[in-house]
Structure 1
Amino acid sequence: MPLDLTADVVDLTAALVDLESVSGNERAITDAIEAELAKAAHLSVTRIGNSLVARTELGRSERVVIAGHVDTVPLNDNLPSRNDGTLLHGLGSCDMKGGVAVALKLAAGLPTPERDITFVFYECEEVDAVRNGLRIISEQRPDLLEADFAILMEPSDAGVEAGCQGTLRVEVSTTGERAHSARSWRGKNAIHGAAEILNRLAAYEARMPVIDGLEYHEGLNAVLINGGVATNVIPDRCTVTVNYRFAPDRSEAEALAYVTEFFDGFEIALTDSAPGALPGLDRPAAKAFVDAVGGQVGPKFGWTDVARFTVLGIPAVNYGPGDPTLAHKQEEYVPLEQIRRCEQTLRTWLTSGPGA
């Protein structure tokens, strides 16, 4: 189904929603986007898998990235789209085809912006990181992502959420000795030994650093406990899975070192880790963007793909239409007013600024 990039941004959002693109099935939507962007003489378009990078090459003094994923979570009786005059309902409407529609309108309709722009439309954000299209681009063609500032069009209620926190998970284990529960004194209960792990977590005091004027609130929490052999056996092993959400002023290595020290004396295994993203609100492009959007800037307490830009040394923010708490819900929707406001705000910002 062809897309009309000259259509109203709400109608374009509906068309994108109606193009089913569950993770791993993005070929059709990427083909449709590529066919339209290829018509724009002011853009150079590169395809990597089912991801697209479209760039202006105007020699401006600043370059910004505007990125959004085109995939969705699986269907849940929430297609086709439905416009009730205030909200657009449907799978991916909030996460994040409203943001993708805004980016597409700008890509097709701004041949001479005052900042050079790199538009990225990528696959497989909702599944394993190894398949993430933005990750693949950053590894295969990092030159395509070089920029002074990046905007990820994730839903943020049309307000700026700067950077994001990092996340890691570790398994903290205790060991004991098995015995029959009728003769428990002949063994050593590993589950009882985990009490100290939980006591340390209960006494944890969160670090709340201020970065670029934003206060981030860290968290260290037990999220799983696994132990036990049978109801008549003293267990010889217990593992507590702990999730650490750390502020973006700490690297993954620093976060792991902190957790390792926190659980000194216990066996620790790292199972998952992803870096945070610095907000970079002191950069000229970021400051101008915040001024253009207005309102209160907030820190991002979850993890998003803005972290991939930090790895490349590019400060990034989340900015897009839709309530992020509606992502992945069957009743997902996006306010029409927010879609239009995001488009107009970005258009104004991109057509003013440092110039050539």
Structure 2
Amino acid sequence: MGEAGHPPLLPCCAPRGLSRRALRVPRPHPHQDGPGRGRGARGAAGHGALRGLLRAGGGGHARLREHRRSGRHRDHDRHLGHGGLLRPGGPSRPPLGRSGHRGRAGAPFGPAGHHRGRRLHRQPLHTGGRGVDRRGGGAGSQHGHHLLHAHRRRHRPRAGGVPRPGARPGSGGARQPAQEVPRRHLPPALRPDHWGAFGLHRPQDLAQRGAAGVRGAGVNPAADLAWLIGIPSPTGEEEALCTALARRLSPRYGSDALVRVGNSLVVGRPGAGPRITLYGHLDTVPAQGNSVPEERAGRVFGLGASDMKSGLVVMLALLEDAEVAAGPYSVAGVFYDKEEGPAHENGLEDVLDAVGWLSRSDLAVVLEPTDLELQLGCNGALNARVAFLGEAAHSARPWLGVNAISRAGEWLAAMHRSEPVVVEVAGLEFREVMSVTRAQGGIAANVIPARFDLNLNYRFPPNLTIEEAEVRLREAAAAADEVEVYDRSPAGAIPEGNPHLERLARATGARRAGKQGWTDVARLTRRGIPAVNYGPGEVALCHRPDESVSVAAMEEAFTGLKRFLTTG
């Protein structure tokens, strides 16, 4: 039947010859909505109520389908279910091969829509209500139960105006399982910028994706990581990601608790309890054909998955968690830029200068990749230009000159034979190593080189100062003619005796280790901020084309940190 005051869309009885065909009629109204994707042209036309569906990208006709019961009994008075009316977040196609005849081999047990068979999880087309005839046929009839309840909408407040804990718009009851992470983009008809064309103006008008549970928490790490990877942020191009994070967190924190420093973002404000600050860099190395995220076999692949957008996922989940906000700690987050570039351009220094209260943190957690180890301290790093000098000559008469490259041969051989030196600091092992990382010499193929330049990289343990480390480097390069130290990064101090570190270790159960490498823990400890490294990323996969991270690792990092932040 048509809407009130309008003529019927179709006669109540189907014309002869059309009893086995889908019907096409002029669309009665441009806002007749429903993101249906067509099933097959099977099914019967008959005597029940008809539902019109707007096909995404379709033409000027609505596809009408009826729900026919088995044995040619009367209709259920409900829509059979196109692909777009599935459970929120589900695939936009009929599951289990239901496009064919329901009596064929492999079809679900029982008639379509029967609650004991495998039925479509559908969003009701209207709120309905309790009809008189519950066996089917009456308006608002309820055959079985809907998995998505039309009466639980965001604009229908609970008695007293207090929402039920854990409720979210469009979600099902307690028995409804969490949705899987989608492995595709949203259909165009569901994108927010397409809602107006369908007469949809609020998120409540559409079925809402609920977050999959992470050990009982309302976060979805794989989906959040795919979202972050999908916003490119190579070093120097972090603006879009910083803006996206600010927009996401603004409704929860308000503009007064978001401080933007260039393309870095500080989230939170000073509170009454001990201050715990979470740190993560926004940038990645350049793409290597891995800029599109992909999830398979319990892992998320893509640029920055391990280093360190998986750490950002955990930060987001903690900053958005109500129990963390109500916990004993004052928790803040710092998302900063340019960590992967030259040390003197790192955006963290500007953030620490601009937001003074960060320096009064009781503990900072840097969510760099650590394979879920609690890594304390970090190596310091020096880089030096080392030059060997010679005298140019024609390559046909080398005895008239001095080959600078050959002069460096013995020193290079000694560097090649050198072994890492294991140093123990505060019960943790660090390795002291020197490596030649670059070399350049000669001006032409037929000229004896007069100069040979090399780069010497030195990683030193936390028990050495910058000055002590530089003395050791110059001693190691004594055979060279020139040594110029041009890049200095201090080692990160180990926060021995920090009570919050001890609680963090107990809450996570993580193995303690020294950080073999340099992280921004060193910048923080140099300013007197106790800091540690702890993150879900995998060190061996950083900066690789096949970079990935385990979803389970993100879950474990979140669970451990939340336990720490909520129990004190």
Question: 1:212·1:282 contact (CA, 8 Å) conserved in 2?
Answer: no
- CA distance in 1 between counterparts of 2:446 and 2:226 reads 59
Shift of 1:262: 2.9
Structure 1: segments with no counterpart, 5+ residues = none
Unaligned runs of 5+ in 2: 1-190, 193-208, 212-217
How far has the Cα of 1:7 moved from its partner? Answer: 4.1
Query: What corresponds to 1:273 in structure 2?
Result: 488
Q: Please say if 1:161 is aligned against 2:398.
A: no
Which segment is superposed worse, 176-185 or 268-277? Answer: 176-185
Matched, 1:222 2:436: yes
Is the contact made by 2:221 and 2:551 (CA closer than 8 Å) also made in structure 1? no
Write the letter of the residue equivalent to 1:334.
Answer: V
The answer to whether 1:54 aligns with 2:247 is no
Equivalent in the alignment of 1:33: 245
SS of residue matched to 1:179: coil
Question: Quick one: distance in 1 between partners of 2:391 and 2:210?
Answer: 68
* TM-score, length-scaled by structure 1: 0.88
Question: In the TM superposition, what is the alpha-carbon distance from 1:324 to its structure 2 partner?
Answer: 1.9
RMSD of equivalent CA atoms: 2.8
- C-alpha deviation, 1:90, in angstroms: 2.3
**Structure 1 residue 133, shift from structure 2 partner:** 2.1
Aligned to 1:11: 223
Q: 1:58 touches 1:112 (CA, 8 Å); kept in 2?
A: no
Counterparts of 1:166-245 in structure 2, within 5 Å, are 166-198=380-412, 200-202=414-416, 204=418, 206-245=420-459
Q: 1:99 aligns with which of 287, 307, 311?
A: 311
Moved more, 70-79 or 248-257: 70-79
Measured at CA, do residues 117 and 209 of structure 1 come closer, stay the same or move farther in structure 2, by a change above 3 Å?
A: same
Instruction: State the partner residue of 1:327.
Output: 542
Of 8-17 and 37-46, more deviation after overlay is shown by 37-46
SS in 1 for 2:252: coil
Q: 1:4 to 1:31 in 2, by over 3 A?
A: farther
Per-residue Cα deviation, 1:185-205 (whole angstroms, up to 9, x for no partner): 443333333245335535656
Partner in structure 2 of residue 116 of structure 1: 330
Distance 1:280 1:131, change over 3 A: same
**2 CA distance for matches of 1:223 and 1:91?**
25
1:258 to 434, 447, 472: 472
- Tell me the SS of whatever aligns to 1:217: strand
What displacement does 1:248 show? 1.8
Preserved CA contact (<8 Å) 1:65 1:145: no
Residue 513 (structure 2) aligns with: 298
Cα deviation, 1:164-209, whole Å, max 9, x if unaligned, reads 2111121222223333445444433333332453355356564432
- Which structure ranks higher in relative contact order (CA pairs < 8 Å, sequence separation ≥ 6)? 1
Q: CA deviation at 1:337?
A: 0.8
The verdict on how the C-alpha distance between 1:295 and 1:54 changes in structure 2, with shifts beyond 3 A counting, is closer
Contact 1:159 1:293 (C-alpha < 8 Å) held by counterparts: no
Q: Does 1:90 align with 2:302?
A: yes
Structure with the bigger percentage of helix = 1
Could you tell me how far apart the structure 1 residues matched to 2:447 and 2:241 are?
Answer: 55
Q: Which residue of 2 aligns with 1:45?
A: 258
What is the number of residues matched between the two proteins? Answer: 352
Structure (1/2) with the larger strand percentage = 1
Report the 3-state secondary structure (helix = DSSP H, G, I; strand = E; otherwise coil) of the residue aligned with 1:234. coil
Distance in 1 (alpha carbons) for counterparts of 2:380 and 2:534: 18
Letter in 2 for 1:99: G
Letter of the structure 1 residue corresponding to residue 429 of structure 2: E
For the 8 Å contact 2:385–2:455, the answer to whether it is kept is yes
Q: 1-side partners of 2:361 and 2:452: how far apart?
A: 47
Deviation (angstroms), 1:85: 5.2
2:439 alignment partner, SS class: strand
Compare 149-158 and 18-27 and name the one that shifted more: 18-27
